[in-house]
Amino acid sequence: MNSIEVINGMCIKDKNSVFYEGKKLRNISPDNFNIFDSGLSYDKILIDKNGIYKFIETEDNKKAIEVTRLDSKGIDLETLERITSPIDSSNYFKDKNGVYFMDGNKFVKVNGADKDSFEVTMSGKYGKDKNNVYFEGKKLERKNPVDFEEEMEIKQ
């Protein structure tokens, strides 16, 4: 008898495959499969025995699913966690070794970032630690992290 497991209310796996809304997710192994997080963001992060993936569900009528393997070389998947913003997920992550920014289909280490004090701003695009301010993973010069506040545009 095959055992079927529901993962995070979003996917189903059996001994051979992983499915989302009845569609098989190709190239995803059920071994050690898990949904890293499901956040509020449009993209979800999936993990299996082979690596880490970005899962995007389009919002058109076709309900297309795109699963892309991310370059996660050097990242400790056991301690990896997403750093969330107050209103949504962000593209900033941290593990036991440091802070990373998910730039497209790869994780880029945020050089010099202090993982213990790192936090993200409201939109999730800016990050700051006790020493510096970062925009999409890049250090901003002459910005004081103590005084830094993101300027949010309000469009009417």
Q: Which of 9-13, 80-84, 152-156 has the lowest mean pLDDT?
A: 152-156
Q: Using only C-alpha atoms, what is the Rg of the chain?
A: 17
pLDDT score for 153: 46
Angle (CA) 85-88-92 rounded to 5° is: 50
Measure the N-to-C terminal CA separation of the chain; round to a whole number of Å: 58
Domain ranges of the chain: 1-69, 71-156
Residue 17: pLDDT over 90: yes
26 is written with which tokens? Answer: 């190709």
62 is written with which tokens? Answer: 């076709």
pLDDT tens digits for 60-71? 656 677 888 998
95 is written with which tokens? Answer: 């593990």
74 is written with which tokens? Answer: 């050097």
2 is written with which tokens? Answer: 């095959």
The Cα diameter of the chain in Å comes to 63
* DSSP H or E segment with residue 52: strand 51-57
pLDDT score for 145: 85
pLDDT tens digits for 104-143? 888 999 999 999 999 998 777 889 999 999 999 999 988 8
pLDDT score for 155: 46
Angstrom CA distances, 97 to 9, 10, 106, stand at 31, 30, 16
pLDDT tens digits for 22-61? 889 988 999 988 887 655 555 678 888 888 898 877 776 5
State the Cα–Cα distance between residues 153 and 67, nearest whole angstrom: 32
Higher confidence at residue 19 or residue 125? Answer: 19
pLDDT score for 1: 43
Higher confidence at residue 84 or residue 131? Answer: 131
Q: What type of residue sits at position 50?
A: N
Helix, strand or coil for residue 109?
strand
pLDDT score for 114: 96
Is the Cβ–Cβ distance between 124 and 90 less than 8 Å? yes
